[in-house]
């Protein structure tokens, strides 16, 4: 039997649980290695709730006393599933083993490393204090992930509130941090002018859809892989976490380490949203129905993502209204009113319709009202782009603008709202997202076409989005 003195000195720490908990274990162990002057070996093993190696997410540790590796089966925490065999085998390597070490209930680290110079522990808890600088220095995302983080953060303003809504299997967060609490708190910040945009991080697509419907253009959010048992899911978790840290403050879920870890990374205020859930038998307010006179699925998706949750947007298909509505006016305003009246007069439902035109200076404002049918009545987007690129081939003045006019008919009253975005016609099609002329139109000061920047970024600045925002302001003022 070995004596304590015969075991190799040092501390082996195995972080367990999800990403944020592991980060706290690692950074606190790195600090402990410096302050206690003991060698620390960290073992980061992928598991069902964090299926990624350290080096698949972060740059290597930069510390003389702490090392990190992936370990072997011998380093695996002892559980009923593996019949506690790893612990039995480790008796030859360590003088002492602590399972699920918790400094709140167990002796502090200085005492146990003094008493047991050769020690193994697995834990999801911080081993001791550390600074926010320690956390940032220890965890540096890989360059490819940092680029994604920077792209997301470039959409933030100086007053973007970060919101982390934890759901799935986290009962405490679901019970104590309901959506109603988040909405009330975010609305308060927006009303006071303390925030103007919202960045949402969540593990529930239903929550993401709720925020999209509620905050429209003010919302920035990713569409991540939610499975933490995949590498892609863990990469997206890192992007979400560091993006949260780039906001100006964070509203987080009860008993979720993800939120306050992000706040530590960013040195920003953190607030746990707690509130008693609204009783299930509380009657839900009736949604207001508003028809959007279109069968264009791309336009419909854009509008539904922008509209608040209390407005249900119906399409022509929902009314079983087939075919295109004739557009016989010679202005965008006239065509929008024709389409809105077509629905309102036949179905008696409040309705809005839009008409959009691409106006190119070198083409005397054309194609303008004929934008959709520029190359023919079949409204072929590829043919339209090919024609406009051909006509602009020898032009030096490439300035253009997109204009959208929305006509709203509400209780028989007409209202018009216009949105405009200026830019240039590119020399070639670029990008594979969006629709219509998106690949050949570059909004000013962006350096990208609409088709390159993606749907979320486009929805923040597009002509249609600006017109819809004016429509929403009018609707909200009437309520």
Active site residues: 355
Q: Which residues contact 73 (CB under 8 A, 6 or more apart)?
A: 86
**Burial degree of 321 (CB within 10 A; 0-12, 13-18, 19+):** middle
- Both structure tokens of 446: 């962006």
Q: Are 293 and 351 in contact (CB under 8 A)?
A: yes
b/e code 74-106 from CB counts within 10 Å (16+ = b): ebbbbeeeeeeebbeebeeebbbbbeebeeeee
- SS3 (DSSP) at 425: strand
Q: How far apart are CA 195 and CA 218, in angstroms?
A: 10
| CA distance readout (Å), 332 to 327, 328, 358, 411, 417 | 9, 10, 11, 22, 11
Q: Are 7 and 94 in contact (CB under 8 A)?
A: yes
Q: How far apart are CA 442 and CA 448, in angstroms?
A: 5
For CA atoms 88, 91, 94, 99, the dihedral sign is positive
For CA atoms 432, 434, 440, 444, the dihedral sign is negative
Q: How far apart are CA 311 and CA 422, in angstroms?
A: 30
- Both structure tokens of 245: 């840290």
Q: How far apart are CA 353 and CA 316, in angstroms?
A: 11
- Both structure tokens of 44: 């980061």
Parallel, antiparallel or unpaired: strands 197-202 and 219-221: parallel
Q: Which residues contact 239 (CB under 8 A, 6 or more apart)?
A: 141, 145, 148, 149, 152, 222, 224
Q: How far apart are CA 303 and CA 142, in angstroms?
A: 36
């Amino acid at each position: 039997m070995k004596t304590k003195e015969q075991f190799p000195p040092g501390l082996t720490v195995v972080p367990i649980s999800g990403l944020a908990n592991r980060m706290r274990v690692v950074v606190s162990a790195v600090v402990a290695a410096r302050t206690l002057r003991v060698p620390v070996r960290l073992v980061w093993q992928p598991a069902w709730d964090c299926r990624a190696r350290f080096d698949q997410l972060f740059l290597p540790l930069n510390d003389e006393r702490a090392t990190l590796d992936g370990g072997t089966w011998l380093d695996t925490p002892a559980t009923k599933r593996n019949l506690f065999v790893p612990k039995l085998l480790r008796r030859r390597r360590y003088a002492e083993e602590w399972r699920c070490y918790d400094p709140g209930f167990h002796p502090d680290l200085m005492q146990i490393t003094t008493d047991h110079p050769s020690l193994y522990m697995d834990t999801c808890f911080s081993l001791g204090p550390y600074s926010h600088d320690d956390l940032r220095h220890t965890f540096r995302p890989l360059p490819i992930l940092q680029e994604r983080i920077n792209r997301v953060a470039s959409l933030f303003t100086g007053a973007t509130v970060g919101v982390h809504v934890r759901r799935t299997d986290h009962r405490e967060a679901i019970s104590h941090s309901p959506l109603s609490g988040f909405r009330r708190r975010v609305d308060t910040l927006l009303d006071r002018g303390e925030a103007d945009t919202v960045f949402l991080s969540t593990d529930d697509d239903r929550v993401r859809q709720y925020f999209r419907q509620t905050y429209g253009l003010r919302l920035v959010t990713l569409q991540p892989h939610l499975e933490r048992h995949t590498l892609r899911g863990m990469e997206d978790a890192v992007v979400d976490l560091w993006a949260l840290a780039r906001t100006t403050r964070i509203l987080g879920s009860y008993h979720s380490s993800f939120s306050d870890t992000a706040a530590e990374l960013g040195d920003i205020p953190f607030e746990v949203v707690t509130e008693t859930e609204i009783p299930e038998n509380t009657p839900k307010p009736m949604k207001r129905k508003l028809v959007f006179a279109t069968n264009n699925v791309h336009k419909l998706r854009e509008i539904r993502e922008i509209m608040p949750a209390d407005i249900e947007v119906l399409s022509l298909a929902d009314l079983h209204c087939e075919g295109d509505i004739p557009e016989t006016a010679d202005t965008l305003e006239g065509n929008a009113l024709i389409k809105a009246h077509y629905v309102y007069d036949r179905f008696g439902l409040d309705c809005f319709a839009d008409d959009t035109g691409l106006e190119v200076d070198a083409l005397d404002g054309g194609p303008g009202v004929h934008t959709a049918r520029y190359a023919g009545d079949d409204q072929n987007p590829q043919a339209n782009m090919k024609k406009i690129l051909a006509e602009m081939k020898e032009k030096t003045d490439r300035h253009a603008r997109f204009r959208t006019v929305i006509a709203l008919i509400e209780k028989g009253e007409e209202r018009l709202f216009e949105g405009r975005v200026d830019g240039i016609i590119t020399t070639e099609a670029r990008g594979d997202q969006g629709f219509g002329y998106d690949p050949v139109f570059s909004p000013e000061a962006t350096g990208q076409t609409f088709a390159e920047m993606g749907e979320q970024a486009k929805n923040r600045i597009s002509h249609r989005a600006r017109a819809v925002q004016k429509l929403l302001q009018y609707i909200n003022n009437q309520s």
